[in-house]
Amino acid sequence: MFEYLYKKRLAWILIVILLGCFFQFSIDVIFSLIYRNHPLLGSIRGYLFSIAISFMVMYGLSKLGKWMNKTLSWEKSPGGRFYLQVFAITFFVILMVMSIRTLFNLLFFPMGFIRLLDEMVIGVFFLFASLLLVFIDMGIHLLDKWRFSQAEIERFKKANLETQFEMLRTQVNPHFLFNSLNTLSSLIYENQDTASNYVREMSSVYRYILENRKADIVSLLEELSFTKSYVYMLSLRFENKIKFELNIDPRFNNKMVAPLTLQILIENAVKHNVVSQRKPLAIEIFTRNDNTLLVKNNLQPKANNSYSTGIGLDNIKNRLEMLTDRKMVVEKTENEFIVTIPLLDAKENKLIDW
């Protein structure tokens, strides 16, 4: 604070004048209570002298603070800096005030009587006033440091969330690639024409993945376009064993979802349920008026369904937690498995609004 005010010369001069007048008036009040014959308002010379002392003390405090910032900063040793500053200011102010007043009295009143007790009262008063200013300066400094540290903490939290989100996002792509290549490998031996169609659709799907590899959210319309290509890929593999039904209200097309959400949910349904000619898997994707998207499939679990990579529902849940306070809802009935995903607004992204 002292260094900052010293750079603002006009503000510095005004504060020094006000402090000098305040010091002199306070000293006159104190002495008028001690001595009956002491006037409540002293002479102009006394006020000018107090202003001069205030200037020297304030100037000294600014230089002293600058020196201590280089010698022992608050960051290196806050406790040591506090005690050093209090000790240095006490010594400096007492020495400055008493020596200047003694020199002034000896020069202008060589035959006068110097009351040591009065000089000590004045010195202690200047010391307390100076310490008060220094404590205010410390408070402002520490408050600025606290605000800066809070901003740094929030910045690190956001960076950590973005890193976690990126890890979740990259976690999906290799898993999807692994499944796609396995499917393609089996189709090549069964039907090369079908495999060719599969490759074209797979290139379309991966184009979408590459274009949105850094996106936190995408529009529902884009996600649905990608989903249709992915559904076509599954249809080539399973033929009539999977039935898809899309029932999306067009007014929700501009709502947002996390990329690959629908692909993960569809893959999850295929992975954990029997898909056969006798037991076709029915997957329905539809919207509701409460700004939610539902993915529902009939429940026909596989006999051996213990193995799980942990990528599916947990991945969507974790990504949603980083994007919004709204939750994913998973419902399991005797015949159906339903996942409800919140449809987000474009501004409803905590990674951006942090």
φ and ψ at residue 287, rounded to 5 degrees: -105, 155
The set of residues, in sequence order, having a beta carbon less than 8 Å from that of 278 and lying 6+ positions away, is: none
DSSP state for residue 307 in the 8-state scheme: -
Residue 221 pLDDT? 93
Asked whether residue 90 is domain-assigned, the answer is yes
Residue 113 pLDDT? 45
Residue 52 pLDDT? 78
Contact 313, 339 (CB under 8 A): yes
pLDDT profile of the chain (354 residues), mean per 10: 54 74 74 67 72 76 75 72 75 71 62 57 71 72 75 64 53 61 77 80 82 82 90 80 92 90 88 89 94 94 62 79 87 92 83 53
Please indicate, yes or no, whether residues 139 and 247 belong to a single structural domain of this protein.
Answer: no
Please indicate, yes or no, whether residues 135 and 226 belong to a single structural domain of this protein.
Answer: no
Burial label for 131, CB within 10 Å (0-12, 13-18, 19+), is middle
- d(CA 23, CA 354) in angstroms, rounded, equals 48
Please indicate, yes or no, whether residues 304 and 222 belong to a single structural domain of this protein.
Answer: yes
Please indicate, yes or no, whether residues 112 and 225 belong to a single structural domain of this protein.
Answer: no
Give me the domain span that covers residue 71: 2-152
- d(CA 23, CA 32) in angstroms, rounded, equals 14
| C-alpha dist (Å) from residue 228 to 163, 221, 295, 297, 354 | 30, 11, 14, 17, 34
Please indicate, yes or no, whether residues 137 and 257 belong to a single structural domain of this protein.
Answer: no
- d(CA 89, CA 100) in angstroms, rounded, equals 16
How many alpha carbons lie under 13 Å from residue 352 in its C-beta half-sphere? Answer: 9
Residues in the chain: 354
Find, among 129, 132, 134, the residue nearest to 20 by Cα.
129
Please indicate, yes or no, whether residues 143 and 31 belong to a single structural domain of this protein.
Answer: yes
Greatest Cα-to-Cα distance within the chain, rounded to the nearest angstrom: 122
Residue 164 pLDDT? 55
Count of domains in the chain? 2
- d(CA 107, CA 110) in angstroms, rounded, equals 6
Q: What is the DSSP string of 78-136?
A: HHHHHHHHHHHHHHHHHHHHHHHHHHHHHHH-TTSPP-HHHHHHHHHHHHHHHHHHHHH
- d(CA 150, CA 301) in angstroms, rounded, equals 49
Please indicate, yes or no, whether residues 244 and 148 belong to a single structural domain of this protein.
Answer: no
Asked whether residue 171 is domain-assigned, the answer is no
Find, among 179, 206, 171, the residue nearest to 319 by Cα.
171
329: domain CATH number is: 3.30.565.10
The set of residues, in sequence order, having a beta carbon less than 8 Å from that of 287 and lying 6+ positions away, is: 247, 248, 249, 252, 293, 294, 343
- d(CA 31, CA 10) in angstroms, rounded, equals 32
Asked whether residue 185 is domain-assigned, the answer is no
The whole model's pTM is what? 0.53
End-to-end Cα separation, the chain, in angstroms: 31
Please indicate, yes or no, whether residues 298 and 197 belong to a single structural domain of this protein.
Answer: yes
Please indicate, yes or no, whether residues 206 and 345 belong to a single structural domain of this protein.
Answer: yes
